[in-house]
Structure 1
Amino acid sequence: MVIKDKNVTVTSTVTQMNESLESENFYLLCKMRISSDDLFTVIQSSFDNDATPWFGLVVCLWGTIFLEMWKRVNAKLVYEWDVENFENDEPARPEFYGTNDPVTDEIEPYYPGTLRRTKMLLSFLVGILMVCCVLASLIAVVIYKTWARLKITTSNSIESFLLTTVVASLLNVVSIITLGKVYHIIAIKMTDWENHRTQTNYNDALILKLFAFHFANSYSSLFYIAFLRKNNQKFFQLLGLTDFEDNCGVLNNCMSELGVQVVILMIFKLFPKLLKDVFIPWLRKTKNRICSRIKITLSSKNAMQLTVDDFIIKESKKPDLGDFTLEEYTEKIIQYGYQMLFSISFPLAPLLFFITILCDIRVDAKRLLWICKRPIAFMAQDIGQWLTILDLINGVAVVTNACVIAFNTDFARERPFHEQLIILIVIEHIVFVVKFLLSTIIPDVPQHILLAIRKEKYQVATKMKGYPTSLHQFR
């Protein structure tokens, strides 16, 4: 009986061990299955770690240093090209129209400021309407993504990822590009209608319109994923979609999907430019080369000698660049915003931005020298409102990165809300203080430029009767 009891005991022990091993294997299998199904978890664990807050700090401070160095280069070019007072003496645009000046009664056209401000208000309302179209397109993309996650059932995580997140992101890119092209035409028409006096005022008004729209058009989906996607069930209920809920997985962590969205926007938004500036000119050049070879073959002469007139005709047939400066600045500033506002979710975004800039330099150089007609150079005192926009993006980037760190990263996600709020306030204030110190320490005008300006003033004063000749008077 004792042996039998021992056998029973051994048998039961072995059974318990097998059951334990089976349950452990089942747990590991489930864990592996969950990990394979949730592709975002792998991406998130690669980019969301303890170094994420420090990376956000470096990005924000780099933006300040970049802007201050830009100001120094601008001051140097202003001095070398002697355009310090260009905007004060800038002539009127050829397109400017109006009545005679009511004060001097001269022929010089005068346009009432009240009428222009009224037109600018109407332009602002048109911009608001276009922003509403952007929000409508964003809601449509969100509804598709949520519907796809609910209706598409597949065991392949990669296939599910492509049909939901990637397709939704591509639809968002198409919407951004289409609405951007439409509003670009509208903004030019509205700015022409406002009848600005100088080219600088015209450019500044057009730049503000375009960037205000592009800010909403390009970044709305990223703001939604980062800050609004966690608790949006009430939003779907208001739309009558009670069964819909767009969340970020079991842990409700949106960092990884935010990074995917940033990558897709940065890469695929460059495709229209690549198509227009690289592939279409290459196809056109290849076609012209083939046609010229056919002509040479059919000709009785062995070689065709081109004259100066032939070269002039060839150059005249090249396409125009259009508003090259405006388009390039708009594109670069939008890309700059991607890597400043949300690169914390994808740390390789600055490197990707740098690579695209290097490639774009060579493409634009070829466009300027070989593909298109040479553009006409215009004088300017600075880059206009783009400098203000860069400063604005740097300020918004501090708030955006601080919010992402406090509410979306592993650094603070599991903390209570009041602790997250404290982290947000502390990070934001520390970064703003350091940015202020950097902007104060780094002078906007280099020292050698200041000395050169003082020297010029001194030399002018010594040649004029009655002016002091001490160099200390011109600091």
Structure 2
Amino acid sequence: TVFLEFWKRRRSTLIYAWDLIEWEEDEETLRPQFEAKYYKMETVNPITGKPEPHQPSSDKITRLLVSVSGIFFMISLVITAVFAVVVYRLVVMEHFASFKWNFIKQYWQFATSGAAVCINFVIIMLLNLAYEKIAYLLTNLEYPRTESEWENSFALKMFLFQFVNLNSSIFYIAFFLGRFVGHPGKYNKLFDRWRLEECHPSGCLIDLCLQMSVIMFLKQIWNNFMELGYPLIQNWWSRHKIKRGVQDASIPQWENDWNLQPMNLHGLMDEYLEMVLQFGFTTIFVAAFPLAPLLALLNNIIEIRLDAYKFVTQWRRPLPARATDIGIWLGILEGIGILSVITNAFVIAITSDYIPRFVYEYRYGPCANSAEHSDNCLQGYVNNSLSFFDLSELGVGKSGYCRYRDYRTPPWSSKPYEFTLQYWHILAARLAFIIVFEHLVFGIKSFIAYLIPDVPKGLYNRIRREKYLVQEMMYEAELEHLQQERRKSGQPVHHEWP
């Protein structure tokens, strides 16, 4: 919230410096594609008073519904890919658990997660190639009125595609992995064949941290290569071809500049998208992966210099365009800020062991009836979090009991393997924590946004001063005009005009 509020202050300063305070996007010209499509359907613009092409509401709604359907289809495709990776994890898990190599056999859960993360990253990169073309087609299908509307629509689709593509597997690990496993003797199975995967014995945060760290690290390396390494290779190849075809090695500088890589069709959209997705990585699951902001900071320190080198030496100079803000990206950043509060509340309450430890310490532990609490209050927590299972129920000739992580009644009770009262206490505490955490953080966010004004006070007073001077000049000009009219008509001139 502090970051976004200070960006609004910076934005207002830039608008004033570039004299764009009174400039509105309504002054933009219509897109040629829009004019060519609806030139027969004209209506009078209420601002300019001139006729211009108009898109009927029925046609606009129909095209919007088709575009939304395409978005949902692509999102469902991503979810299908995540489900395929889940099935892969279930199949490979059994093979790694019985692997001949002792290292893999001992750390089969890490091996399964690591292989699945790498495959998931390859799927993400392959789907990214298709997303841009599909988003381009869906946006053109809507026939936006102006270039800013086209860019906002295209940016929103690209963000939705990329966000779901990057974070769907992370959401699965954070909130679904190990939640519907069942218990010994009654495990839930996928297609009645593969047992659902469980979290690491130390908790699901290990799997979530591994997933986020690998995806974030590999994606930053890939983005830096595509932004700088790929243009470098293309420019080297183009210079090599020119030198082979030209006898004189001295080529004018303007021709060398023309042979650089052109700015892509979407301008800075890729740069914005990369930063917004990185902002999501550093906020949405920061409770599970606290190193994400540090990795983002190190990446951005490097990328600032890489981008400067890329824009100056590898790309042609882009054409400038007026803009009063960063478009739809500010709304997306604010939406990510709201989503991050919700997801972190669920990560702390559901994924981590914070709430079970808290309930044990104050309700079931050795300090439950004591006013003083210390480190010894968690003594016996691991044993308390494990339930009993009778091995004789498996029918394999073994007897005795084994322990598994759950809150269920023992097999010798009247209702074996039912959830205990402690389970319901933990569930109620988790729901209460989510509600309290969200309301508290949202209240703090709103208070911070209220305290930090969008326009600096000095700039605000300067703008008001300029408006006052303009009104004073207009008043004096009008007064002088009226005095000249009176002189021409022979009427007496009053110096003190009301």
Q: TM-score, normalised by structure 1?
A: 0.77
Alignment partner, residue 433 of structure 2: 423
Matched, 1:433 2:443: yes
CA change 1:468–1:333 in 2 (3 A) is farther
Partner AA of 2:39 in structure 1: T
The separation in 2 between residues aligned to 1:380 and 1:294, in whole angstroms, is 43
The separation in 1 between residues aligned to 2:295 and 2:192, in whole angstroms, is 38
The separation in 1 between residues aligned to 2:293 and 2:148, in whole angstroms, is 31
Partner AA of 2:78 in structure 1: V
Matched, 1:396 2:353: no
Partner AA of 1:156 in structure 2: F
Alignment partner, residue 365 of structure 1: 308
- 1:41-52 equivalences in 2 (<5 Å): none
The separation in 1 between residues aligned to 2:113 and 2:189, in whole angstroms, is 24
Q: 1:229 aligns with which of 164, 177, 180?
A: 177
Alignment partner, residue 454 of structure 1: 464
Alignment partner, residue 168 of structure 2: 220
Alignment partner, residue 13 of structure 1: none
Partner AA of 2:474 in structure 1: M
The separation in 2 between residues aligned to 1:292 and 1:192, in whole angstroms, is 36
Matched, 1:379 2:326: no
**Structure 1: unaligned runs, 5 residues or longer:** 1-63, 470-475
Taking only aligned residues, the RMSD between alpha carbons, in angstroms, comes to 2.8
CA change 1:347–1:468 in 2 (3 A) is farther
Q: 1:173 aligns with which of 121, 128, 152?
A: 121
Alignment partner, residue 342 of structure 1: 285
Alignment partner, residue 3 of structure 1: none
Alignment partner, residue 19 of structure 2: 82
Query: Contact 1:96 / 1:195 at 8 angstroms: preserved in 2?
Result: yes
Alignment partner, residue 116 of structure 1: 60
1:172-227 deviation digits (Å, cap 9, x = unpaired) = 11112221221211111111121111111111111221222222211111111111
Q: 1:275: Cα distance to partner?
A: 3.0
Query: Contact 1:281 / 1:371 at 8 angstroms: preserved in 2?
Result: yes
| Counterpart secondary structure, 1:278 | helix
Q: 1:267 aligns with which of 199, 207, 217?
A: 217
Alignment partner, residue 22 of structure 1: none
1:51-76 deviation digits (Å, cap 9, x = unpaired) = xxxxxxxxxxxxx1001111111111
Select between 86-95 and 187-196 the one with higher mean Cα deviation. Answer: 86-95
Query: Contact 2:181 / 2:188 at 8 angstroms: preserved in 1?
Result: yes
CA change 1:467–1:121 in 2 (3 A) is farther
Q: 1:458: Cα distance to partner?
A: 0.2
CA change 1:112–1:293 in 2 (3 A) is closer
Matched, 1:319 2:257: no
The separation in 1 between residues aligned to 2:81 and 2:124, in whole angstroms, is 9
Query: Contact 2:42 / 2:52 at 8 angstroms: preserved in 1?
Result: no
Matched, 1:91 2:29: yes
CA change 1:194–1:294 in 2 (3 A) is closer
Matched, 1:70 2:14: no
Alignment partner, residue 156 of structure 1: 103
Matched, 1:442 2:385: no
Q: 1:293: Cα distance to partner?
A: 8.9
Q: 1:292: Cα distance to partner?
A: 8.7
The separation in 2 between residues aligned to 1:212 and 1:79, in whole angstroms, is 32
Q: 1:104: Cα distance to partner?
A: 4.1
| Counterpart secondary structure, 2:33 | coil
The sequence identity of aligned pairs, in percent, is: 30
| Counterpart secondary structure, 2:437 | helix
The separation in 2 between residues aligned to 1:281 and 1:89, in whole angstroms, is 35
The separation in 2 between residues aligned to 1:383 and 1:186, in whole angstroms, is 23
Q: How many residues align?
A: 396
Query: Contact 1:68 / 1:444 at 8 angstroms: preserved in 2?
Result: yes
CA change 1:288–1:381 in 2 (3 A) is closer
1:124-162 deviation digits (Å, cap 9, x = unpaired) = 101101111100100111111122111222421586356
Q: 1:466: Cα distance to partner?
A: 8.5
| Counterpart secondary structure, 1:380 | coil
CA change 1:388–1:104 in 2 (3 A) is closer
The separation in 2 between residues aligned to 1:167 and 1:357, in whole angstroms, is 28
Alignment partner, residue 277 of structure 1: 227
Alignment partner, residue 21 of structure 1: none
1:356-414 deviation digits (Å, cap 9, x = unpaired) = 11212222212211112111111111111110111111011111111111122232134
Matched, 1:464 2:474: yes
Partner AA of 1:370 in structure 2: T
| Counterpart secondary structure, 1:108 | strand
Select between 404-413 and 435-444 the one with higher mean Cα deviation. Answer: 404-413
Q: TM-score, normalised by structure 2?
A: 0.73
CA change 1:306–1:229 in 2 (3 A) is same
Query: Contact 2:42 / 2:53 at 8 angstroms: preserved in 1?
Result: no
Query: Contact 1:259 / 1:343 at 8 angstroms: preserved in 2?
Result: no
Q: 1:444: Cα distance to partner?
A: 1.0
- Structure with a larger share of its residues in helix: 1
Partner AA of 1:453 in structure 2: I
